[in-house]
Amino acid sequence: MSENRLHIDWTACDGRGLCAELLSEILVEDEWGYPLARDGAVEPAVPRALQKNAKRAVDRCPALALRLVNS
């Protein structure tokens, strides 16, 4: 099974919303700048077509707060 969910380590995330820009199909910024899943999920699903974008967001998160995990 591929790693198809996005996990956010809230203790690390500093909320500058970079991921919401890089992965706008899945995430939006909340009113404080923290990533919020569009579908409201705690660990939003990452469809196959968005895997590459998601990996890029994970790699570029300055706080190392994002991970792709198995559901």
Partner 1 sequence: MTVVDVLPGVGRRLLAGSTDGRLDTHLARYARPPRLDGVQLVGLLRDAGLTGRGGAGFPTWRKVEAVLGASGVPVVVGNGSEGEPASGKDRALMAYQPHLVLDGLQIVAGAVGARQAYLYVAAASAVGVRAALGDRRGAGLDPVPVSVVVAPERFVAGEESAVVNAVAGRAAVPSDKRVRVTEAGVGGAPTLVQNVETLAHLALIARFGPHWFREAGTAEEPGTFLATVGGAVGVPGVVEAGYGVRLGDLVDAAGGPAERLQAVLVGGYHGGWVPALPELAVSRAGLAPYGASPGAGIVVALPVGVCGLVETARIAGYLAGEVAGQCGPCVNGLPRLATTLTDLAHRRGRAGLGREVDAVREVERLSLLVSGRGACRHPDGSVRMIRSAMRTFDADVAAHLAGRCVAEEAR
What is the binding site for ligand SF4 (CB under 6 A)?
Answer: 8, 10, 13-19, 35, 61-63, 65-66
Q: Do residues 13 and 59 make contact, with C-beta atoms less than 8 angstroms apart?
A: no
Query: Which residue from 3, 4, 6, 7 is in contact with partner 1, where contact means CB under 8 A?
Result: 7
Q: How far apart are CA 44 and CA 57, in angstroms?
A: 14
Q: Is 39 in the site for partner 1 (CB under 8 A)?
A: no
1 or 40, CB closer to ligand SF4? 40
Alpha carbons within 13 angstroms on the beta-carbon side of residue 52 total 1
Q: In angstroms, give the least distance from the CB of 2 to ligand SF4.
A: 21
Q: Is 40 in the site for partner 1 (CB under 8 A)?
A: yes
Residues 6+ apart with CB under 8 A from 31: none
